[in-house]
Amino acid sequence: MQRLFAPCLLLAVAPFHSGCGDGHAHDDDDGHAQGAEPADEEAHEEDGAEEDHEHAETPIGTITVGELSVELAQGHGAVAAGEEAHLVVKLPYSDGGATIVRAWLGTPDRTLSYVGLGEYAASHDDYDIHATAPDPLPADVLWHVELERPDGTRLVGSGKPLL
């Protein structure tokens, strides 16, 4: 029974997976790659598509996460209820992608929020995160950013999105 349940669950959830469609894998909490599309790495680089930030990003400020000052920028325009939003997180240090970065729109308790997992972009030394805004948007909606360091320490901070 369990052998049938897992594939059925994957088929049911697959249409709801959102992202840039860039073909890059996203790691889950256990470090397993998800959403990778097979691609010819050399052809990908020749197209100039490797880790490009071709869409407009608007700086939305610096927030405090634990003892760190973290820079945020928002892409894809203003946040709208039920729509995908894009956040770029720039850490105050270069870690080569070793930190796990998560973000969500909404309230600190994540009620009705979809948590996005950051994808490290080496060419920009930052993390791209896509998350769907809750519908309806809470009156006090914020971007909440969680950093999980390689040692397992978790830090959380918040900042105002573009509305």
pLDDT exceeds 70 at position 43:
no
Question: Quick count: other Cβ atoms within 10 Å of Cβ 42?
Answer: 8
Collect all residues with Cβ–Cβ distance below 8 Å to 81 and sequence separation of at least 6: 133, 134, 135, 136, 137
- pLDDT at site 119: 98
Q: Please give the residue that has the higher pLDDT: either 48 or 80.
A: 80
The tally of domains found in the chain comes to 1
23-35 average pLDDT score? 44
pLDDT exceeds 50 at position 21:
no
Tens digits of residue pLDDT in 132-145: 999 999 999 999 99
pLDDT exceeds 90 at position 63:
yes
Q: What is the pTM assigned to this prediction?
A: 0.69
Mean pLDDT across the chain: 79
Q: Which of 162, 163, 158 lies closest to 65 in space, CA to CA?
A: 158
Domain housing 130: 2-159
Tens digits of residue pLDDT in 103-120: 999 999 998 999 999 999
